[in-house]
A and B are shown apart, each in its own frame.
Chain A
Amino acid sequence: MVDVPYDAIADVPPAEVPEVELYHPKSWWTQYVFSQDAKVIAIQYSLTASAIGLVALVLSWLMRLQLGFPGTFSFIDAGQYLQFITMHGMIMVIYLLTALFLGGFGNYLIPLMVGARDMVFPYVNMLSYWIYLLAVVVLASTFFVPGGPTGAGWTLYPPQAVLSGTPGQDWGIVLMLVSLILFIIGFTMGGLNYVVTVLQARTRGMTLMRMPLTVWGIFTATVMALLAFPALFVASVMMLFDRLLGTSFFMPALVEMGQQVKYGGGSPILFQHLFWFFGHPEVYIVALPAFGIVSDLISTHARKNIFGYRMMVWAIVGIGALSFVVWAHHMYVSGMHPKFGFFFATTTLIIAIPTAIKVYNWVLTLWRGDIHLTVPMLFALGFIITFVNGGLTGLFLGNVVVDVPLSDTMFVVAHFHMVMGVAPIMVVLGAIYHWYPKVTGRMLNDWLGKFHFWVTFLGAYLIFFPMHYLGLQGVPRRYHDIGEAAFITPNVHTLNAFITVVALIVGFAQMVFLFNLVWSLFKGKASGGNPWRATTLEWQTPETPPGHGNWGKELPVVYRWAYDYSVPGAAQDFIPQNQPPQATRAVQGAAP
C-alpha cells in the first residue's frame, strides 16, 4: 500500500487574508426570510425545489396512468400529455436536481465543510435564491395561462416549439424561456459564491487536497455550470426573439399548416448544438455532486477512508472537462454531418473510463471496511447499483450506430431515468438522512427510513430496468398512446400497466418519507453534534444546528485529510479533521 501524502504534524501555515466581519441580521425578516446566511438560503432552496419537485412527481403519475391504461383516463389527451412530459422533465432536471444539489446542498455544506463562516458574497447569495424563486413562480404560472404550458418536450426543439402544432405556443413557451433566463441569472450569482468560497475562504490547513469529495463534486459542478449555462441562455434568448420578434435564428423557410410563413434561413440544428452544449454538462452538473456526496456517505458509514482519494479528485475534474466534448451524442440522428459521429462516439466512450474508476473505488472502499447498514449506507448501495446500470446503458447509446435504432425509444427514457433520476435521488435521500441531524439536531425515524429505502430502491429498479426492453422492441418515446402496430405485442401493454402500478407504490413511499421529515422535527431522537462519528468539519461545530457564524469565536484549524477512519493505533475509529496530532493518542469519549 502506498502512503497518502498527508502531513498530520507539519506546520499549518497562517491565514493569508484576515477574517472579514460577518453581517448580522437585525430583525426576524432578515434572519429567516431575507437572510444572507447560507444555511437559511440552503433550506429555502431545498424547500422550494422539493415543492416544485412534488408537482413534477404528480405529473409523472398522470403520465404513467395514461401510458399504463390508455383510454381509461380520457381527461389526459395528447396535448396535455405532451405538456406533462415537458414540465416533468424541465422541473426535475433543472428546478429540482440542479437547484437542490448546488443551491441546497452546496449552500449548506460548502462553508461548513471548508471551515468558513459563510459564503464570500452573502448578499448576492440571498438574491440568487429570490431570483430562483421568481423563476419557479414564472414556470408554474404556465399552468394557468391561455394555452397552458409548452408541450415541446424539455428539449424545446425548434421549429415545433414556437409553432402552432405544439401546445403552449401562446404563452407557455415564452414564459418557459423567461423562466430559464431568470434561473440562469440566479444560478450565476450562486455559482460565483460556491466557486470563490472554495477557492478563497477555506480555513487554515484546509488545502484543496484535504477537502471532502462532497466539496470537490459541488465545486467542479459549479465551475461547469458557469461555463455551460450561457449556451442555454443564448439559445433561450434567440428562441424568444424568433417567437416574439419574428427573427429566424432557428427557423428555416417552412409551411405551417398549409401557410407559408415569413421565417427563413435559420437552422434548427443550431439550437440543438447550443442546447446540448449546455445539456450534456448539465447532466454531469447533477451527477458530480452526487458522486462527491456518496463518497462521503460510504466512507463514513463503512468507517473506512475513501479508496483512491487522489484519483477520485482527478476523475471528478476529468469527467467535468470531458463532459464539454461529448454533447453531440444527443444528436447522432439529428441530421448533422455524419462524420461527427466518429468523434463524439469516441469521446463519449472515453468518458466512461474515469467514471468506471469512481465506481471501482466506491466498491473498493467497502472492501475490508466495517460496514454499518444505516439508512444512508443503504441508499449509497442503491446508488451504486442503479448508477452502474444506468451508466452501462449509456454505452449502448453512446456507440453511435447502436444509437440509431434506440434513439427516441423508451430505451433512452429508461437510461436517463436510471442514471439521472434514480441514482442521484438515491444520493439525495441518503444525504438527507445523513445530514438531517446536523440541520435539525434530531434523527429521522429509522424504521420508516428502511421502509422508504427498500420500496424506493426496488420499486424504481422495477420501473426502469424492464423499460429498456420496451425500447429495444421499438416502442417510441413521447407517445401518449402507442396505438396499433405489428411490432407492438400485447405484452407491451401488460408491462406498461405493471410499471404504472409500481410507480404509484413508489410515489406512496415518498409520502411516508415526507411524513418522517415533519414528524421527526418534533419527535425525533436527539442526535447530538456528531451522531455518525464523522471526520468532516461540519460535524465539529460547537452548536447543533450550527449557530450564526458556524464556529463560535475561533475558526477551526485543519491538520489532516477528510478520511481518517480506522487509523491503526488511534483511540477511536475516526479522527476529526480539526483534531491536532498530539491529541490523537489520548483516550477520549464519544463526540459531544
Chain B
Amino acid sequence: MVVALILLLVAVGSVLFHIYSPWWWTPIATNWSYIDHTISITFWITGVVFFAVIAFMAYCVFRFHHKEGRQAAYNPENKKLEWWLSVGTGIGVAAMLAPGLFVWHQFVTVPADATEIEVMGQQWQWSFRLPGKDGRMGTTNVRNISPDNPMGLNRDDPHGQDDVVIESGDLHLPIGKPVKVLLRSLDVLHNFYVPEFRAKMDMVPGMVTYFWMTPIRTGTFDVLCAELCGVAHAQMRAKVIVEEVSEYHAWLEKQQTFAELSGRNAVTKTTYKSGGK
C-alpha cells in the first residue's frame, strides 16, 4: 500500500541518485587514491545497510498494517538475534575502520625523500616559500613580520637567505615528487584546500602543521580556504600548477629569493642549474 511504497521508493531513489549522480568527486591529482577507495568501500557497506533497513521497514509497514482483527505479537526480547546483529554490525564497522586506519597511517608517515615547502595563510591571501639551493628553509617568527619581510623570516638564519618567496603568485610543483607541505598562519585559522589533492590540513597561528602528497598529473588547480577565517573567507584563492620537472625548474629560476626581495645587496644573486635542487 501507498505508505510502504513511498518509503521503499525513498530507498530505491537514493540508490539510483547515487548511481546516476552528476555530482561526484573531481578527478584526483595525487597519490591519495587510497582515500577514494576507502570512500567507495564505505559507500558499498553503508549503501547495503541503508537499503536493507529501509526495505525491511517498508515491508513491515506493508505486511503488518492495522487491519480489523489483527493482533500484534508479544515478544519483548530475543537475545540470540540481538547478539548476532551486534556481531554483524561490529564486523561491518571493522571492515570500514581497518582500511581507513591503514591509509591514515600512510597519511601521517611522511616519506624520507619528500621535499619541504611552505604555504602561509593570512587574512585573506596565500603566500608560498620553497627551500633554496641549500635544500632547507630558514626559520621564521611572527614578530619579524613587516612590509619588507612579509613572511617573517629570521634574518640571522643563513638557511633562509636563499628561500624562494612567492608573495602573490601561483605555486608550482613538479610532477611525481613527494612533497611535505608545511602550513603556517599569521593571524587566524585557515586551511589549504585543493579538492583534486584530497589531502588538506588547518593552518594554526602559533604552530606549524603539515600534510604530504605526491602530485601524479599535471594541471592547474584552484586553492580554496577550508576553515572559516572572516568576511573574505570565500575570496581567499590561489592556484597550484603541477608541471613537468623541466618546466618546473624553468619557473623556479625566475623566482626571487628572500635575500633579493629584502634588498640585501651583500648577497649575490643565486643561480640555479637545471636539474639541481
- Give the B-binding residues of A (Cβ under 8 A): 1-4, 78-79, 82, 151-153, 157, 159-160, 163, 165-167, 252-258, 260, 266-269, 302-305, 307-311, 333-335, 338-339, 341-342, 345-346, 349-350, 352-353, 356-357, 359-361, 363-364, 366-373, 378, 381, 384-385, 388-389, 392-393, 395-396, 399-402, 404-405, 407-409, 458, 461, 465-466, 469-470, 472-474, 476, 478-483, 485-487, 489, 491-492, 495, 563, 565-568, 573
B114 proximal to A (CB < 8 A):
no
| Residues from chain B with Cβ under 8 Å of A372 in the complex | 66
A408 interface neighbour in B70, B204, B227, B230, Cβ under 8 Å: B227
B151 to chain A, nearest CB (A): 11
B14 within 8 A of A: yes
The residues of B that contact A260 with a CB separation of less than 8 Å are 142-143, 145
B46 within 8 A of A: yes
Closest 5 CB pairs of A and B: A252-B206, A474-B195, A165-B230, A399-B100, A335-B209
Binds A, one of B90-98, B130-138, B160-168, B266-274: B90-98
Inter-subunit contact B71/A566 (CB<8 Å): yes
B38 at interface by CB-CB < 8 Å: yes
A165 contacts B188, C-beta separation under 8 Å: yes
Name the one of A165, A311, A385, A476 contacting B123, with C-beta atoms under 8 angstroms.
Answer: A165
Query: Bound state CA distance, A359 and B53, in angstroms?
Result: 9
Instruction: Count chain A CB atoms within 10 A of each CB in B71, B105, B191, B209 and give the residue with the most.
Output: B71
Does any Cβ of A come within 8 Å of B265's Cβ? Answer: no
A357→B78 contact, CB < 8 A = no
Q: Which residue of B lies closest to A306 (CB)?
A: B76
How would residues 123 to 155 of chain B score, 1 for a CB under 8 Å from any chain A CB and 0 otherwise? 110000000000000000011010100000000
Instruction: Please judge, given known A-B contacts A368-B73, A389-B50, A487-B26, whether A163 and B220 are in contact too, CB under 8 Å.
Output: no
Question: Across the interface, do B23 and A470 meet the contact criterion of CB distance under 8 Å?
Answer: yes
With A366-B60, A405-B198 already in contact, the answer to whether A371 and B207 are too (CB < 8 A) is no
Q: List chain A residues, Cβ under 8 A from B50.
A: 388-389, 392
With a cutoff of 8 Å between Cβ atoms, the chain A residues found around residue B60 in the complex are 363, 366-367, 369, 371
Chain B, range 11-60, C-beta contacts under 8 Å to A: 11, 14, 17-18, 21-26, 34-35, 38-39, 42, 46, 49-50, 53-54, 56-57, 60
The secondary-structure label for the interface of chain B is mixed
How big is chain B's contact interface, by range? Answer: 35 or more
Residue of A152, A333, A384, A482 with most chain B CB atoms under a 10 A cut-off: A333
21 CB contacts below 8 A, A to B, read: A82-B233, A163-B187, A165-B231, A255-B142, A267-B206, A303-B72, A307-B75, A334-B204, A335-B201, A335-B203, A338-B108, A357-B86, A369-B73, A381-B3, A384-B57, A399-B97, A407-B226, A409-B226, A469-B18, A478-B233, A487-B196
Give Cα distance in the complex from A86 to B81, angstroms.
45
Q: Do residues A405 and B35 form an inter-chain contact, with CB atoms below 8 A?
A: yes
- CB pair B189 A160 closer than 8 Å: yes
* Choice from A166, A335, A573 contacting B204 with Cβ under 8 Å: A335
Is B261's CB within 8 Å of the partner chain A? no
Closest A residue to B60 by CB, please name it: A366
In this assembly, does B250 line the interface, its C-beta being within 8 Å of a C-beta of chain A? no
Instruction: Give which listed residue, A304, A309, A481, A489, contacts B72 with CB less than 8 A.
Output: A304
Which listed residue (A333, A384, A495, A565) contacts B23, Cβ 8 A?
Answer: A495
Minimum CB–CB distance from B39 to chain A (whole Å) comes to: 6
- B232 x A78 contact (CB < 8 A): yes
B79 close to A (CB within 8 Å): yes
Cβ < 8 Å to A, chain B residues 202-221: 202-207, 209, 211, 220-221
Determine whether the beta carbon of B187 is less than 8 Å from that of A404.
Answer: no
| Residues on the B chain within 8 Å of A266, using CB | 206
- Say whether B200 faces chain A, with CB atoms less than 8 Å apart: yes
Q: Nearest Cβ distance between residue B175 and chain A, in whole angstroms?
A: 18
Q: B39 contacts A308, CB within 8 Å?
A: no
Contacts of B185 in A (CB 8 A): 254
20 other A-B residue contacts (CB within 8 Å) besides A252-B206, A352-B89, A408-B227: A2-B79, A3-B76, A166-B230, A254-B205, A333-B200, A338-B108, A342-B105, A345-B104, A357-B85, A366-B60, A399-B97, A401-B101, A401-B107, A402-B100, A404-B35, A405-B25, A405-B200, A474-B195, A478-B234, A487-B26
Looking at the assembled complex, report how far the CB atom of B202 sits from the nearest CB atom of chain A, in whole angstroms: 5
Contacts of A345 in B (CB 8 A): 97, 100-101, 104
- Among B26, B124, B203: residue with most chain A CB under 10 A: B26
Chain B residue numbers with a CB within 8 Å of A257 are 123, 187
Q: CB-CB < 8 A to A346: which residues of B?
A: 97, 101
Minimum CB–CB distance for B190 against chain A, Å: 9
Are B53 and A256 neighbours in the complex by a CB distance under 8 Å? no
What residue in chain B is nearest A159 (Cβ atoms)? B188
Judged by a CB distance under 8 angstroms, whether B244 is at the interface is no
A349-B79 CB under 8 A given contacts A152-B228, A371-B64, A378-B3: no
Asked if residues B53 and A388 are in contact (CB atoms below 8 Å), the reply is yes
Structural contact, A255 and B202, CB atoms closer than 8 A: no
Q: Which of A308, A399, A458, A479 contacts B38 (CB 8 A)?
A: A399
Contact B42 A465 (CB under 8 A): no
Taking a contact as CB atoms under 8 Å apart, the answer to whether A479 and B35 are in contact is: no
Contact between A160 and B230 (Cβ–Cβ < 8 Å)?
yes
The distance in angstroms between the C-alpha atoms of A258 and B146, with both chains bound, is 8
Q: Which of A152, A334, A566 touches B74 (beta carbons < 8 Å)?
A: A566
User: Inside 8 A of B73's CB, which chain A residues have their CB?
Assistant: 304, 368-369, 566
B206 touches A474 (CB 8 A): no
Residues of A within 8 A of B101 (CB): 342, 345-346, 400-401
Which single member of A166, A350, A388 contacts B231 (CB below 8 Å)?
A: A166
Task: For B27, give the chain A residue with the smallest CB separation.
Answer: A487
In the complex, A458→B124 CA distance in Å? 40
The minimal Cβ–Cβ distance linking B116 to chain A, given in whole angstroms, is 17
Q: Is the CB of B72 within 8 A of A1?
A: no
Asked if A491 meets B23 with Cβ closer than 8 Å, knowing A370-B64, A401-B100, the reply is yes
Tell me, in angstroms, the Cα distance from A576 to B61 when the chains sit together: 25
Q: A485 and B24: CB pair below 8 A?
A: no
Question: Is A349 in contact with B74, judged by CB distance below 8 angstroms?
Answer: no
